[in-house]
Amino acid sequence: GAVVSQHPSRVICKSGTSVKIECRSLDFQATTMFWYRQFPKQSLMLMATSNEGSKATYEQGVEKDKFLINHASLTLSTLTVTSAHPEDSSFYICSAPKRLGFGGDEAFFGQGTRLTVV
C-alpha cells in the first residue's frame, strides 16, 4: 500500500524555539495533505489542510502564524511550530489522501511526531 513518512518521530525542544515536522508521500503524489493534533486518549483533530502551490487552509481556532505550513512539492508538506510553548506539546500526525479507482480516496497516515516542549 501507499506510504506516508513523517519525521521526526520524537522531538524535545526548549520553550521559545521552533520545530519543523516533515510529511512525505513516498510512492504517490499528494496535492493535498492534512495535519492533525491528538491529545492523550482523544481523537485526531484537524488543524489545517496543506495545498501544494497555494496557501494552507486552517481550521477555526488554529493560529496560522504559529503553525506554519508549507507544501512546496507534490510529495512534501512541512509543519513548523513557531515559538513553541509547553502547551504545544502534543502528538502531531499528517495524512495524505490517495485517489482510489471507484472515485473515493484512502487516507494514509504518517507515523506521528511526539513534540515535547520544556
Partner 1 sequence: KNQVEQSPQSLIILEGKNCTLQCNYTVSPFSNLRWYKQDTGRGPVSLTIMTFSENTKSNGRYTATLDADTKQSSLHITASQLSDSASYICVVSRSDYKLSFGAGTTVTVRA
State the minimum distance, in angstroms, from the CB of residue 110 to partner 1.
Answer: 5
Question: Under a CB-based contact definition with an 8 Å cutoff, are residues 73 and 51 in contact?
Answer: no
State the minimum distance, in angstroms, from the CB of residue 11 to partner 1.
Answer: 13
Q: Which stretch binds partner 1 (CB under 8 A): 12-20, 64-72, 76-84, 91-99?
A: 91-99
Q: Which stretch binds partner 1 (CB under 8 A): 11-19, 69-77, 79-87, 105-113?
A: 105-113
Give SS3 for 94. strand
Instruction: Note whether 105 binds partner 1 by CB under 8 A.
Output: yes
27 vs 83, beta carbon nearer partner 1: 27
Which of 32, 51, 82, 89 binds partner 1 (CB under 8 A)? It is 32
Question: Under a CB-based contact definition with an 8 Å cutoff, are residues 41 and 98 in contact?
Answer: no
Q: Which stretch binds partner 1 (CB under 8 A): 12-20, 61-69, 82-90, 94-102?
A: 94-102
Residues 25, 97: Cα–Cα separation, whole Å: 9
Residues in contact with partner 1 by the rule CB under 8 A: 1, 4, 6, 32, 34, 41-44, 46, 91, 93, 95, 97, 100, 102, 104-112, 114
